[in-house]
Structures are given as structure tokens and as C-alpha cells.
Structure 1
Amino acid sequence: MPLFEMKEPSVQAVAAPRRVSRFVRERVWWLALLVVWGAVVGFSLEVQVARIREQSIQVGIEGARNMFRMVMLTRNWNASHGGIYVPVTPETPPNPYLEHPRRDVTTTDGQQLTMVNPAYMTRLIASMAASDGGVEFRLTSLRPIRPENIADPWERQALERFERGEVETTGVEHGPKGEMLRYMAPLKVQESCLACHARQGYKLGDVRGGISVTQRFAPIEATTRAGIRQTSLAHAAAFAVVFLGGWALLEALRRRWLELDGKIAELEAAHSQLLQSEKMASIGVLAAGVAHEINNPVGFVSSNLSTLKGYNASMIALLERCRTGEATEADFAAAEFDYLKDDIPALLGESRDGLDRVRKIVADLKDFSRVDQAEWQEADLNAGIECTLNVVWNELKYKAEVVREYDPALPRVPCLAAQINQVVMNLLINAAQAITERGTITVRTGHDDALVWIEVADTGVGMPPEVQRRIFDPFYTTKPVGKGTGLGLSISYDIVARHGGRIEVTSVPGAGTTFRVSLPLAGRPAESA
């Protein structure tokens, strides 16, 4: 695998509308809102229809209740006068069920009169109401004196409820004339009633019957249908207006969202290219330093190999003369065997040290990039800082002395180690660039029960407050044009934020700067990173 592998941003990944949900992109999902709105309107219509029906019935019941009150007023008026006398006619014959000594009287001029008590008067008025085709009512009882006043099944149930304490009964019943609205209220025994009903065993306050009021339900139903028709039209209009207006609004928002997503995709593509440029710039700096660090041991290994090659040629030539018998004692005296015994091991040892140095640099680069780590793992931050120092050593060694103050008990932290190493590299390079003359860079680590932290402090020029407030803004830099993109600290800030941590800065102009990176020991799930 190449040591530095840079991939071009995926055009498809940039262009895909990731922020616009399926609900916005696909109009078919809007039907869900239509269903919800239809359910709301339907529920409202159902409630309104039920209320209209209830109100219509209540109006009819109130009319029956008023009829009952009027009948009771006339009965009470009659009873308060002890009955009234009317001329005897075919329509008002003497009441055969009234036992009274003065039921029938004759006036001085020979006019025949008969007494009309409250019950008889109720029956006469009810007959007139029935013949008029309006509301019907009648007097009924469980123990009537007049057999025709016997209660029907509905009235019997109502009378039984009255004896249990109910004050009125209503209902809709199907009859020969269609649906009928029925109302009934009790008649209680009063003092004036005992003259006729005491022999039946009634006492004062007993329920001796009731007045049943019946009216056709068709007019009420017609009024109800008209109200339902009006409220249905109103609900249909509200449904259509909100549906059309909401659909138009969603359509407008959809267009705006898609346009906005396209702009964001373009910005992301530009941002990705800038990040790529920043990565390439960082890799360029890193590669230059690594090349310098590798060239030194490779150079003296190459020099040593040249020397060893010369020694090897001389030894082979001497051995060849010995094989042919041409070698003399002078040749052996000229060969500096004692010197070679000391110099060859030294050259080999020095070359081995150089190759070990190269291998160490390559291992540090691998640990720095952690190309084998694609998921979160518990990392040793002290080791990561150390390998990062080795990788960027060429940028530091000429500018500052590096002081290490590591916490030996630093716990391992769940993280993406390569990204944390990138943050440390950015902070170290910024620290070196902030030092104008040779200074000191101090790297510290520490922890408490919840956090671990890394501090990079320098003795550089420092920053005024107005610069400190903007150093994490993308593209903000105090370096000359062409010397930086202003993305290094912004990228570092994003990396630390994705790890659930924070990065803070304290700086005094002329006295240096300290960056502290704090990471939670609990870590964050890879999905949220």
C-alpha cells in the first residue's frame, strides 16, 4: 500500500441530494399529509354532524317539554278552581269516570252543564291537538281509571323509571306514521287529586301517571339534514382550500429545497477541493521533512557500502593472487588486516543503525496515518504524539527544543487515532511557525475521571484577542498570501468536535500560545463520528 494515498472526491457522492428527504423529493409521500388532513376533516365533520343531530333532537325535546309545561299549567288552573263547567255537547259529554255529586248541573234558564276536571280537560285538549295534525300528547298511567289511558310499552317503561326517581324520559320510536320523537314526564299526586284518586290507594307525592308527548321526527330530520348538508359543504371547502394551498406551498418549498441542496452540493464540492488542497499541502510539508530525515541515514549507508565495496575488491584481488601463487609476503604486509578488523564492523554497525533509523521513520509514518484502522479503537495518545513528533521532526528541530511532559498513567482513549494524530501535527507545525527565533515547544498530557487532554504550548509571538476569536474559522489565516489556506485549525476543530471533545486556546501577545485538546474517556459511537 502506498505510504501516502490521496483519492479524488467522489463526484457522485457530492451530487447526491443527501439533505433532501424522500418526503420532499417524492410527491407521493405528500399523500400521507392528505390522508392525515382528510382524517382531521372527517373527524371534525363527524363531530359536527353528531352535534347537529343532538341539537335538533334537543330542540324537539325542548318543544315537547314546553308542551308538557303548558298542559300542567292548564291542569293546575283547572284544579285551583275545583274544575270548570262547560255546556254538554256531543264533543263534551259528561265524564262517565268522574264521580262527583255536582258533576252535572242545570242553569236557571235550563242550560245543561257538566264538570270538566283536569284529566278530562287534558283529554279534550289532546283530541284537539291530534285533529290539528300537530304534536300529540295524552294522559297515561299504570293504573288508569279510564281504560283508554293504559300505558303502551314505551310509556310503561317510562312510568317504571319515574317510580325509580327519574324526572323525564325521551326517545325516538318507530310507529305507524314513521319515526316519532317521544317525551314523557311524571304526574305526581297533589292535594286536589286525592278527591278522585285516594280510593286507588295513592298518597300525596306518589307518581300516579304521566303525560306523554309525541311528535313526528321527520321535520326534525329534515332540519338536521339541512344543517348536515351545510356543514359538509363547509368542511369540503376547508379541505379543498387547505389541500390546494398546502400542496402549492409544499411544491414551492420543494423547489427551494432542491435548489438549496444543489447550492450546498456545489459548496461541498468546492470545500472538498479546498480540503484536498490542504491535505496535499500538509503532505508536501510532511514528505519534505520525511525525505530529509530518511536521506541522512541513507546517505551514510550508501557511503559505507562504497567503502565496503572497495575493501571487498582489495580482499578478492589478494585472494586471487594467493590462489595463483603470485602473492608475496609484501602483499600480506601491505594488507591492513588489523585496520579492516576494526573498520568493517564499525561500517556495518553504522549502516545497520541508519537502516534502523529509516525503518523507525517508516513505522512512525504508519502509526501516524493508521491506515489499518477504519473503526474506532482505544488508542495510546502518548505513543501517537511521539510518532507524530518523529514524523514532523524536520519542521521542529531547527526552530525549537521539544519538552515532553507525558502523563505516565494516561488511559487509552476510544478514538480514530489517525485523526487525532493529524490534530497534533497541525498544532505542532503551527507552534513551530509561531516561533521567530529558537524557542521551546512543550507537549503535555493529563487526565481526570471524565477527560484526557493534550496541550501544545510554544514560546512564540502569541496572538491578540481578535485573532484568537477567529482562528478556528475556515479560511482565516494570518500568514502571508500563498503560505496557508486557513483550514488547518478549522479541520482540527471539526475532528475534535466529532470525537465529542473541545479544543481551547490561550495566548498572550509576545509570550506564546497554548492549545488544549480535551477528549471524553467514554468516547463516541462510530456512527455519530
Structure 2
Amino acid sequence: MADPFTQPLAEALARVAILESVDDSGRAWLAERAEDRTFEAGQDIFVAGETAEWMAMMIAGEVHVLRPDTGEPFIFVHEGDVSGVLPYSRMVTLRATARAVQRSRAALLHKRHFPDLLRELPEVGERLVWMMADRIREQAVSETHREKLMALGKLSAGLAHELNNPAAAVQRAAAQLCTLLTELQESAAGEAPIGRHLCSTTAADPDPIERADHERALRQWSRAEGHDIPRDALAALADAGLGVAEVTELLAGVPREAIAGLVVRTTMAWRARALVTDIERATTRIADLVGAIKEYSYRDQAPVQTVDIKASLERTLTVFTPRLKHGVTIERAYEADLPPVEANAGEITQVWTNLIDNAVDAMQERGTLRVAARREGDAVVVEIGDSGPGIPPDRVRQIFEPFFTTKPMGEGTGLGLDIVRGIARRHKGGVRLLHSRPGDTVFEVRLPTGAAAREETDGDHVPAS
């Protein structure tokens, strides 16, 4: 195929989607009236605040339209697309800046030619009207989505704050109660070796068959010896992994009439301590979840800081626990001594969130989620993969486009990977689909380490078909 940067403009205009069916004379008419411009990476095509006068027909390259408040890209213009002012548009002043992210070529048509364009090439005018309608709809959806995310962030921040105080209080109380119960159990342990043994034993997770055998044997032993020990106490001994032989040995020397009462007291203390330990673990889990939610809620306010990638990935997995615990197996592969990255911690967490969410959805919450991180030169490379059905080959090249989604109607906005790409680029990194086939889809995120942040991105691309 001819070089898009050296082709005569009339021929090169055939690369623009809305002009594919226009004949040579029609493209020649346009070429006579358009300005043929080439832009280098980083060069502005349009600047916010300028008078809106030009329609840009992209022949080669890629251009990002940046939000005026944050500088974040929210519209991506590729080869074959049309941007800028369109016929019938009422835009007077440009509200955003359009910047080339790689060497690009565009044909710029001034709006004074629009009446002639609509008269000479009416089929093109019709397509441009539909394009303007689509643009308005997409921008409305984008703004609505953004407003909802902001509202959700404020709501989750408030909930996290309200949950944090009671969760922390319960956690402190559980820790203190566990300490008191341990001291109480130790003070009573001098009655017999069985008390000292249970005092030093934590709640186990014994083999169910072995535990059932122990409990059955202990009930038979209790009846045969005439001890009349309650079944709950015998069950606690089995939970602690004790059988008849061990219990008989630990009760050696205890008066026969005191055995039942001693077993009840020591097993009750052991069970109480085990329950408090469970409460402490649960409240610690709640505190971890609240911390993760708070990090999400304040991600837009978080400054650039040193980020531990492994810890960031693990916090994100913690948030996904409700969706992962029933049918998803997690395979981790973290290289030792991963270097930190200088980044906005909340935004980096959002990258993991979107990729993991897509992976879990693809597997329908049943399968294997693979999370790996390694160092490559001056970058940390993170791979997130899943065992889902894979991305259809005919859709691979569209996955990073805003509003494109493979999910059913109403289940996806098509903004997740677009957000991931924007965040990666702001951090002078890149994201790409490494490969996708049934049972093995992997996305790769590359982030520069510390002071090694590069001046240019690694680029976002998909594997060659």
C-alpha cells in the first residue's frame, strides 16, 4: 500500500471512511479546497479557545482530544476519522485541544466551503450529519458516565468514613478481649495438662473424616468411663485435633469426679478464644476493605507517590473478594524485589480494577485469574490474564476505542480500556493486549520505574492478525 504521507492528497482522501465511495472527481474537488497538513507527535492541531473553523479528515496517525480541565484524553481520532467542526454545527469556539500523539497527516477543510460541499457531494453531507448526531450522543453518554462516577466516588468516600470508625473500634475491642481470654485461660490452665495444652492450641482445620472419628470415639469413651461430658465439649476436643489417647493422657491424675467439669471449663475457654480470634480476623478484613474503598474514593486527589505494585494489586484483589471467592482461582507470579513506580496510586489501582473486572466478566466468575508482575529494564510489567473464551478476532483492533464493548447491551459502557489507556499514557507507560485465544487472554501494562519515567510512551497496540 502507498505511503499515506507521500500519496497525492486526492488519492490519500480515499483513506477517510466517509469518502470511500466518493469518485476521483469528488475527491479531487475536496483536495483543491482542503489544506494538506502534517503534524509531528506532540503538535497541536486545534487549541481550546480558538475560533472553530476547520474540519479535519485524518489520513494517517492518531490525534487525542484533551479535556480542558484535566488534560485527559477523552476522544481518540484515528486514520479514516473526521474531527473538528462539521456542517450544521453551532460550535463557535473550540472547547478542547486536539493533539497529535504520533506523526499524523490531515486534510483541513475550512467551514466556508461547507455549503459547496453539501451541494457538490450530498452523500458526504448526509454522512457528516449522522456523524454529528453520533458525536452528540457519545459526548452526552460520556459526561453522564463521568458525573455518575464522581457521585459514586463521593458516596463511597462517605460510607468508607462512616464504616471506618466502628470497624476500627470492633477490631480494638476484639484484640483486647482475645488478650483477656488468653490470660484467663492461662490462669485456669494450671488445673491439668489438658488446660495448658488447649491454651497453646489455636483453632485448627482438621480433616473432616478424622475429626468425625475423634468425636465418635470420644463420645464412646465418655459413656464407657461414666464421665457424662456434654457433647459440645467433646466436639471442641475433636476440633482441637484431640483423640481418646491424647485426652486420656492429658487427664491423667485428675480425680474422676472432676473430669467432666474440667473438660467443660477448658473447652469453653478454648472456644471463646477461637471465636474472638475469628472476630478479630473478620474486622481486620473489614478494615482492609474500607481502606481499599477509601483509596478508590480519593484517587483523583491522590498526589504522585511511590507505589508498591505488588501491594497495589493485592489491595485491588481484596476489593474483588466477593466476586472471586466462589468460582475464581487466582494464580500469582510476582518477581522478588520489584522496584516501585512514581505514580498516582489511586489511578494505578483503577487500571487493575478495570482489567480484573473485564477478566472476571469474561469468565462469568468461573475460571482462573492470572496476575503477574516483573521488572524489564527501567519498567515494571504487569500481566493480567483470564481463562475466558477470548476476544473475537474481528473485534481485537477495536477494544481500546471509547464506547466499544463486547458485553451485552446495558452491561458495559465501553470506557474501561479507554480509561486504562489514558492512565497508562499519563504515567508515560503503555497498555496492550498481549494475546487472546480461548482459555488464555492476557493484557500487559508497562509502567516506568521511579526516576526512569520516559519522555515518550511505549505505545498501545494489539498483536498483528
State TM-score, norm by structure 2.
Answer: 0.44
Q: Which has the higher helix share?
A: 1
**Greater Rg over alpha carbons, structure:** 1
